[in-house]
Amino acid sequence: MEFSQESLMSLFHAYVIPYSLNLLFAILIFIVGKVAVKIITNLVNRVLKKAKLDSVLVNFVSAIAHTLLMLFVIIASLGELGVDTTSLVAIIGAAGLAIGLALQGSLQNFASGVMLIVFRPFTAGDFVEVAGIAGIVEKITIFSTELRTGDNKSLTVPNGKIYGDVITNYSRKPTRRIDMVFGIGYDDDLKKAKEVIEKILKEDSRILEEPEPLVAVAALADSSVNFNVRPWVNSADYWNVFYDTHEKIKLAFDESGISIPYPQMDIHLDKLNQDEK
């Protein structure tokens, strides 16, 4: 089958030129869109950094924005080529829904991770108690948080469990109160015991003068008279002062003849005399 010059020119004008122009415009849309996406992503990145958000969150949000914008550019380019983008968008939406349902737990961890990074209830280096676990925060990521326990175990806790529960940050405030209870016997000198405790607290330079330490009789228990002892210290000194104070008070009580009674119970027995017949 032979084509005349007129028919070839007709085909050229009818198909080649329009499709070439469409291809050219599609390439142009892709190139310009790619440059625009880069500019927008950099702008988003700078804005998030100026907001002093965590670098992990900044990088993640920038990557998500870049991916979504590039997807829009690709769809626009394909549309210029005459591809039916309606079905493509539907397929992408269905795939996104299926992935979202499959990764429901991960998405919860992600959302919780974003909240942790934005609101910062704790930062790396803080001693916290989260999800029933106490430890030092080593790393906060989008999906999980790494803790180091007192016995040097490394634990990875999903962010969903952390943000959905009570978060106790022992390092947030510069000072902490130590709550201790010491019991003495009922036959011991109450005033002397109080003076011994107050003297020990006063001699420890790590214990703050303000707020003033509390030494007060808190309970007349079954086996002892209990003192509540509540000094304030810098957060970094909490455990050292806690342990040292217990040791010092025990030794001082021993030297002063003040007893720390064991739990005890007095049992009284009544003997019934029966007449023998």
Question: What's the pLDDT score for residue 1?
Answer: 47
The residue with greater pLDDT, 90 or 148, is 148
CATH architecture of 175-256: 2-Layer Sandwich (3.30)
Query: Which H or E run contains 229?
Result: strand 225-230
Question: How far is CA 171 from each of CA 39, 93, 155, 157, 210, rounded to the nearest angstrom?
Answer: 40, 44, 19, 19, 19
SS3 helix, strand, coil % of the chain, rounded to 5? 55, 20, 30
Among 87, 61, 169, which Cα is nearest to 120's? 169
CA 179 – CA 24 distance, rounded (Å):
76
pLDDT score at 13: 56
pLDDT digits (tens, 9 = 90+) for 195-252: 999 999 999 999 999 999 999 999 999 889 999 999 999 999 999 999 999 999 999 9
Q: How much is the average pLDDT of 8-25?
A: 64
pLDDT value at 131 more than 50: yes
Domain ranges of the chain: 13-102, 121-169, 175-256
3-class state of residue 158 by DSSP: strand
Model confidence over 64-117: pLDDT tens digits? 788 888 888 888 887 777 776 676 666 667 666 665 555 455 778 888 888 887
Strand, coil or helix: 177? strand
Residue 83: phi and psi, rounded to 5, are -75, 140
Q: With cut-offs at 50, 70 and 90, classify the pLDDT of residue 140.
A: confident
- With the CA atoms of 98, 103, 107 and 109 taken in that order, what torsion angle do they form, in degrees rounded to the nearest 10? 170
With a cut of 60, say whether residue 142 has pLDDT above it. yes
Q: Which two tokens stand for residue 272?
A: 């019934």
Q: Which CATH architecture does the domain made up of 121-169 adopt?
A: Roll (2.30)
pLDDT value, residue 251: 97
Q: How confident is the model at residue 18 (pLDDT cuts 50, 70, 90)?
A: low
Contacts of 153 (CB under 8 A, 6+ apart): 135
State the fold for domain 13-102. Answer: Helix Hairpins (1.10.287)
Quote the Cα angle for 163-166-172, to 5°: 95
Element (H, E) at 133: strand 133-140
Question: Could you tell me the two tokens for 276?
Answer: 């023998």
Residue tagged 């979202």 (tokens) = 100
Q: Which of 19-28, 92-101, 112-121, 178-187 has the highest mean pLDDT?
A: 178-187
